């Protein structure tokens, strides 16, 4: 006799409500991943204090853990968390008032800042995270501190991820972030939204933040996954807001570059999550809508005749996007564009990218000469991609032992699992060469 499945389903959830509790716990974890930095940004705008906002954020999530299990998940979790965080901040101030005579002054300062933000932000910037990015990039803060501070406090990147992006040690980066927060506190830099006339002087730092957030999302510095789509998509979203707010050629160029890179996401990994190099990608998987939109923004940026580094990088990506196959890529044009980029924003990483393009255009020996010169200057010695590129060019020249040593060095430096598997396969393949 068959069992009636519908009858059995009525008792699938334990009487103690374990399944419901698990749902609420999962919802809170998802809310933290999705909303925590946005809620934090809103709390900073309302409260005007990084540390107090962070404390209020954590207490709001603790409250959610209890309330959501009792009352269910609210229709708008973000608004619930912001409201709870504001009340928690008031509680914190009241607790401090017992020991701190200046509590009334602090409460007044928070009121003034919230009022100032309310009068300006709704009129000029409609996004709290973007608003806070502009605030962290205040001219009074050391430019070397602005971007790391913003990446850590606004975007939620770890100190290690930020250090990797800047090719610096985590301890050095942690000190910079602490200095930035101290500067805001000691100089009493207001958490107010700059007027439209003040925004351009902060644009370079803001674009740097968005660029580095995208980079971490496009190629994560550590972890099991090559990419973090949440970060890439957030960077693109913020970039669209910036272009709408300030239609600057470099802002357009950055948006174009990110769209063109993002168009290749699906082709960059195998179904098992392994890395696929650009030259080996299935170009039918590239997102043509993102490519078309990216190329439109490249064109608009270049038409301004005020071309900067992001627009040039976008133009390079557009050349790749136009190539039907890897062999059809116009490598001489890419080499020329990298030459222009080196003049606009010189850096050893850009020089390394140019070396790879030179190798594709003129042969591996020409590219290897450039990479060796970079390393001999003492630059990029700790950069895994420099050693990986060198290993590949040595392999193509038939210098197997030297290629093996370069790939081993790259593997020592790599902390991202798909990259480590890729380099391990390279080494295994070299071991098969007689």
Average pLDDT on 28-43 reads 81
Diameter over CA atoms, the chain: 81
Taking the CA atoms of 252, 257, 262 and 267 in sequence, report the sign of the dihedral they define: positive
Spatial separation of the C-alpha atoms in residues 286 and 28, rounded to whole Å: 34
For residue 193, the model assigns a pLDDT of 61
Torsion angles phi and psi, residue 382, rounded to 5: -100, 20
The mean pLDDT of 169-176, rounded to a whole number, is 91
DSSP assignments along 38-53, one per residue:
HHHHHHHHHH--HHHH
DSSP 285: G
Instruction: Choose the most confident range, by mean pLDDT, from 49-63, 215-229, 290-304.
Output: 290-304
Picking from 105-114, 146-155, 358-367, which range would have the lowest pLDDT averaged per residue? Answer: 105-114
Give the 3-state secondary structure percentages of the chain, helix then strand then coil, rounded to 5. 75, 0, 25
The alpha-helical segments, DSSP class H, found in 187-287 are 200-218, 229-245, 249-262
Spacing of C-alpha 336 from chain mean position? 28
pLDDT value of residue 104: 63
Distances (CA, A) of 96 to 106, 110, 149, 184, 323: 10, 14, 26, 20, 63
Average pLDDT over residues 164-168: 79
pLDDT at 11 over 50: no
54-68, 363-377, 395-409: which range is least confident on average? 54-68
Q: What angle do CA 379, 380, 384 make, to 5 degrees?
A: 165
Beta bridge partners of 275: 269
List domains and CATH numbers for the chain.
17-124 (no CATH), 351-434 (1.25.40.10)
Q: What's the pLDDT score for residue 294? A: 97
pLDDT of 349-364, one tens digit each? 999 999 999 999 999 9
Residue 378: φ, ψ to 5°: 90, 5
What's the confidence (pLDDT) of residue 119? 52
Q: How far is CA 312 from CA 258, 267, 309, 434, in A?
A: 12, 23, 5, 43
- The CA-atom distances, in angstroms, between 414 and each of 17, 84, 318, 377, 382 are 45, 41, 29, 22, 10
The answer to whether residue 268 scores a pLDDT higher than 60 is yes
Torsion on CA atoms 312, 314, 320, 322, rounded to nearest 10: -110
Given a contact cutoff of 8 angstroms between Cβ atoms, the answer to whether 184 and 110 are in contact is no
Is the C-alpha dihedral spanning 182, 186, 187, 189 positive or negative?
A: positive
Task: For 301-318, write each residue's pLDDT tens digit.
Answer: 999 878 899 999 999 999
Quick one: which of 128, 308, 293 has its CA closest to 203?
308
Tokens at residue 247, please?
């239609």
Give residue 419's pLDDT: 92
Task: Say which residue, 63 or 223, is predicted with more confidence.
Answer: 63
Residue 5 has pLDDT above 60, yes or no: no
Is the pLDDT reported for residue 194 higher than 80?
no
Q: What's the predicted TM-score (pTM) here?
A: 0.76
CA distance 170 to 172: 5
């Amino acid at each position: 006799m068959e069992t009636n499945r519908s009858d059995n389903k009525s008792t699938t959830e334990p009487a103690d409500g374990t399944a419901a509790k698990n749902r609420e716990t999962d919802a809170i974890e998802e809310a933290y991943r999705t909303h925590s930095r946005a809620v934090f940004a809103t709390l900073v705008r309302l409260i005007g204090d990084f540390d107090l906002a962070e404390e209020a954020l954590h207490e709001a999530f603790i409250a959610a853990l209890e309330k959501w299990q009792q009352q269910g998940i609210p229709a708008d979790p973000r608004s619930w968390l912001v409201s709870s965080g504001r009340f928690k901040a008031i509680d914190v101030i009241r607790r401090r008032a017992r020991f701190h005579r200046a509590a009334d002054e602090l409460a007044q300062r928070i009121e003034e800042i919230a009022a100032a933000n309310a009068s300006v932000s709704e009129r000029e910037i409609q996004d709290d995270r973007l608003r806070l990015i502009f605030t962290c990039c205040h001219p009074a803060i050391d430019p070397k501190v602005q971007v790391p501070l913003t990446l850590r406090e606004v975007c939620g990147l770890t100190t290690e991820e930020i250090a990797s992006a800047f090719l610096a040690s985590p301890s050095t980066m942690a000190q910079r972030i602490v200095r930035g927060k101290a500067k805001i506190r000691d100089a009493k830099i207001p958490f107010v939204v700059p007027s439209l006339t003040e925004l351009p002087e902060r644009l370079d730092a803001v674009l740097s933040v968005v660029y580095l957030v995208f980079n971490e999302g496009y190629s994560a510095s550590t972890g099991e996954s090559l990419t973090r789509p949440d970060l890439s998509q957030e960077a693109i979203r913020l970039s669209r807001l910036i272009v709408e707010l300030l239609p600057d050629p470099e802002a357009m160029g950055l948006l174009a570059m990110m769209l063109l890179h993002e168009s290749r996401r699906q082709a960059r990994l195998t179904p098992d999550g392994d890395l696929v190099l650009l030259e080996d990608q299935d170009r039918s998987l590239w997102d043509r809508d993102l490519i078309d939109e990216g190329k439109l923004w490249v064109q608009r940026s270049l038409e301004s005749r005020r071309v900067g580094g992001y627009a040039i990088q976008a133009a390079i990506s557009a050349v790749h996007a136009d190539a039907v196959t890897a062999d059809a890529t116009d490598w001489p044009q890419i080499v020329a564009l990298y030459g222009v980029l080196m003049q606009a924003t010189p850096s050893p990483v850009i020089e390394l990218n140019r070396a790879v393009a030179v190798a594709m255009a003129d042969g591996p020996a020409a590219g290897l000469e450039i990479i060796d010169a970079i390393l001999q200057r003492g630059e990029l010695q700790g950069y895994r991609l420099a050693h990986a590129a060198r290993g590949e060019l040595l392999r193509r020249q038939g210098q197997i032992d030297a290629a093996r040593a370069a790939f081993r060095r790259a593997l020592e430096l790599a902390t991202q699992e798909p990259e480590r598997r890729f380099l391990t396969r390279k080494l295994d393949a070299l071991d098969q060469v007689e």
